[in-house]
Amino acid sequence: MTCWLALLCSCLPARAGVLTKPELVKRFPAPLMVGDKQADLPVWPLFKQNATATELVGYVFESIDLAPLPGFAGVPINLLVAIDPKGSFLDVAVLSHHEPVFLDGLGEAPLFAFVAQYKDLSLKQHIAIDSKAKRLRAPDAGHAYLDGVSKATASVRIINQSLLSAALKVSRKKLGFAQGSDPDQIARIRSDMFEQRTVAQLLDAGLIRHLRVTNGDVEKLFAGSPGAGLDREALARPGDVFIDLYLAVASVPTAGRNVLTAASWNKLQNRLEEGDHALLVMSSGRYGILADDFIRGSVPDRLVLKQDKLPIEMRDLDLEMAFASDSPLPDASVTVLRVIGQAGLDPARPFDFTLPITRNKGIVYPERITRDINFSLQVPAQFYIAPASSDKSWPGIWSSRRAELLVLGAALALLSVALLLQKRLTANGVRFAWFRAGFLLFTIGFIGYYAQGQLSIVNLTGVLQALLARRSLEFMMFDPMTVVLWGFTAVSLLVWGRGTFCGWLCPFGALQEATGKLAQWLKLPQLRIRAHIDARLKLIKYPLLALILGSACLAPALTDKLVEFEPFKTAITLNFVRSWPYVAYAVGLLLASMFVYKFFCRYLCPFGAALALLGRFRLLDWIPRRAECGAPCQTCRHRCGYQAITPAGAVRYDECFQCMDCVVIYNSDEKCAPLILEVKRARTIPIVRAINS
């Protein structure tokens, strides 16, 4: 009866997840809060209210939605999985299963006890199921060992594969693991491409990796440690081979078909499903990748595969392989390892392998000393198909936002022409005022609220942390508006300084200017801070910048709190829909700007401080000056709302917001004192003494 039930279940399609948000709310009660199911991936975010802040606790998902691996009965085991932002398991529970060994034999208690072991383990650890190993080894940052279930070996292995594959997919897409690469956008091996090559040519191409280690090499690894001198054979014969290993990506036809016989190649293909990878490990010497007590079909612990620092499980296929005739490859120990497609192994990225070597010191409670030999393999580009761009990859995102980018490009082009032709732009003060007001409204409405193009100190801390971690900066490409604005800002810094962005393209800055103008229209009192106090207040933003950038290097967790000093996220990104303290802070800054012109921009903005420093490398002193500026004329200085002009008439470009009011004055014979005097002199009628005839 059980066999017929298994056969019937295997014919049924894999079910989708069954949980709903109300059910999850019951499983994760207050103080936790369950968010809405995500559109791009079937996961629910978990939040927690921490004082006034709402923090992301993790993500909850069902394994059947992401890695529906058939169980022993042919039906996927469905697990509830919760992981935190660091990739640690908050909870793992069984939702449904059809495993005969747990239904008819052992009962479900061993199954529940097995999955409970995952709690507090991390995706960054190499998780192995080996009760004997667990008794001998202590878990560490890189390894974790689970007790298996006797008589249910196959079932617990499938559970482990399903759990890790689903969790890796979520961590890549939601937590930024593997440099934030989309697991649905990975390369695929070209199954239709085959080239006749020798083993030497495969080695040169990188399809086979050779590693030769002698006894002496291993002894050097343990030098200066408690493991030194424990291997008598290594000391006696240091030149002998410890391991001579060849590793081939056998799922690449050019590698597999050239190395194996036709019968072995076909046998291997029959054991692989679409998206799977096969690694052929051949070795000789006194050390092999399979320990003496290794159980066929399980995961070897003497060879570890990682990609982007995330462990990828490899499982022995228990296949006997025959090599093509006259193959120089060693056949003393041959193992075929399978990586399932759901693990997300990307053939376009390096395969990083570790060969851990362990020595024991002591008898009763032996001390285990482990040293790693690391090597990598890179599949050449001609043997895989790069992922086609889609809406999920950044080229697809740029394509989908083409209209917005065209509007932004046209606006930036208009602004560039206007600023380059500033004399004509400012020739008429009223016309210039309308132009500036219109552009600032565009900045608030389109760049800010519609396109979400607010540049921020977060952009700098994100780049800094990525560089420190040696991660790719490709994540920036997923926000095309930000990239375009950064490119334009970088050029404008070289030409005009910080003022172009701060005065024209910053949505929150434009919002502050709008509130300031509104206050002037309402005839609210305007406070002009004394020059020496104003100069000191303007220095505050530089220590704030240093504090935020320093925390990005030394305390990233603190950075998330410090960047909230900027109100941009609250006012622009979230449109004031946030906890009341954040809203009160942002609104308070806008109210302050109604009395002290652009208060936050001038004194507190850390991003403005960064642009001010970068703007010191500008090429032009673009604001025109006359000899009379500052001596005796003080008109521009008194009219400058930013107090960026010194009593001597010089412009402080690091505090200039390119409002161009002073340029309007400079070109106006009704506002500029030197021009007014020239006009008066031209109109003076000289007195000429009359000559009597």
What would the DSSP string read from start to end of 36-53?
PPPSSSSEEEEEEEETTE
pLDDT band at 15 (very low <50, low <70, confident <90, very high): very low
Span 308-323, mean pLDDT? 84
pLDDT tens-digit readout, 238-269: 999 999 999 999 999 999 999 999 999 999 99
Which of 480-511 are b and which e, b meaning 16 or more Cβ less than 10 Å from the residue's Cβ?
bbbbbbbebbeebbeebbbbbbbbbbbbbbbb
pLDDT tens-digit readout, 18-70: 788 888 888 888 888 888 888 778 888 888 876 555 678 889 999 888 888 77
User: Token pair of 120, please?
Assistant: 């507090």
pLDDT band at 388 (very low <50, low <70, confident <90, very high): low
pLDDT tens-digit readout, 67-86: 887 776 566 889 999 998 88
Higher pLDDT: 95 or 124? It is 95
Phi, psi of 172 (to 5 degrees): -70, -40
pLDDT tens-digit readout, 106-137: 778 888 988 899 888 887 777 777 644 444 44
| CA distances from residue 74 to 10, 112, 149, 298, 616 in whole angstroms, order as listed | 4, 20, 19, 19, 67
- Look-up of token digits 């036809």: 253
CB 448 within 8 A of CB 510: yes
pLDDT band at 402 (very low <50, low <70, confident <90, very high): confident
Number of CB atoms found within 10 A of residue 362's CB: 9
Nearest CA-CA partner of 66 in 44, 98, 89: 44
Higher pLDDT: 634 or 599? It is 599
Spatial separation of the C-alpha atoms in residues 345 and 580, rounded to whole Å: 44
User: Token pair of 610, please?
Assistant: 């960064």
pLDDT band at 177 (very low <50, low <70, confident <90, very high): low
Q: Is the pLDDT of residue 462 over 90?
A: no
- Side chain identity at 45, as an amino acid letter? P
- E strand or H helix at 32: strand 32-34
CB 211 within 8 A of CB 271: no
Cβ neighbours of residue 476 under 8 Å, at least 6 residues apart? 459, 462, 463, 482, 483, 486
CB 576 within 8 A of CB 583: yes
User: Token pair of 69, please?
Assistant: 């691996």
The pTM score is 0.51
Burial class for 91, CB neighbours closer than 10 Å (0-12, 13-18, 19+): middle
What is the DSSP annotation of 191-252? TT------HHHHHHHTSEEEEEEEHHHHHHHTTTSTTTT--HHHHH-TTSEEEEEEEEETTS
Span 276-295, mean pLDDT? 89
Spatial separation of the C-alpha atoms in residues 567 and 30, rounded to whole Å: 29
Q: Is the pLDDT of residue 220 over 80?
A: yes
- E strand or H helix at 518: helix 507-521
Looking at residue 2, its pLDDT comes to 38
pLDDT tens-digit readout, 473-514: 766 776 788 889 999 999 999 999 898 999 999 999 999 999
Higher pLDDT: 35 or 544? It is 544
Looking at residue 74, its pLDDT comes to 62
- Look-up of token digits 């979520």: 170
Higher pLDDT: 284 or 362? It is 284
User: Token pair of 184, please?
Assistant: 């649905």
Q: What is the largest CA-CA distance in the chain?
A: 143
Locate the DSSP E strands across 286-386.
304-307, 310-312, 315-316, 333-339, 351-361, 367-377, 384-385
Spatial separation of the C-alpha atoms in residues 89 and 82, rounded to whole Å: 6
- Side chain identity at 260, as an amino acid letter? L
Where is average pLDDT lowest: 87-91, 236-240, 296-300, 580-584?
296-300
| CA distances from residue 287 to 52, 230, 291 in whole angstroms, order as listed | 58, 15, 9
Span 534-555, mean pLDDT? 91
Span 200-213, mean pLDDT? 92
User: Token pair of 374, please?
Assistant: 């690391």
Span 327-354, mean pLDDT? 85
What would the 3-class secondary structure string for 393-436 be?
CHHHHHHHCHHHHHHHHHHHHHHHHHHHCHHHHCCCHHHHHHHH
Nearest CA-CA partner of 595 in 529, 672, 548: 529
Q: Torsion-angle region of residue 524: left (phi > 0), alpha (psi -120 to 50) or beta? A: beta
Strand partners, 284: 244
Number of H helices and number of E strands within the chain? 30, 18
pLDDT tens-digit readout, 149-169: 876 666 787 788 788 888 888
Cβ neighbours of residue 61 under 8 Å, at least 6 residues apart? 17, 41, 42, 43, 44, 80, 81, 166, 170
Cβ neighbours of residue 264 under 8 Å, at least 6 residues apart? 319, 321, 322, 323
Spatial separation of the C-alpha atoms in residues 289 and 577, rounded to whole Å: 56
Looking at residue 3, its pLDDT comes to 42
Question: Helices 606-614 & 541-554, crossing angle to 10 degrees?
Answer: 100
Where is average pLDDT lowest: 238-242, 276-280, 559-563, 597-601?
559-563
Spatial separation of the C-alpha atoms in residues 91 and 24, rounded to whole Å: 13
Q: 3-state class of 71 per DSSP? A: coil
Q: Torsion-angle region of residue 180: left (phi > 0), alpha (psi -120 to 50) or beta? A: left
Burial class for 541, CB neighbours closer than 10 Å (0-12, 13-18, 19+): buried
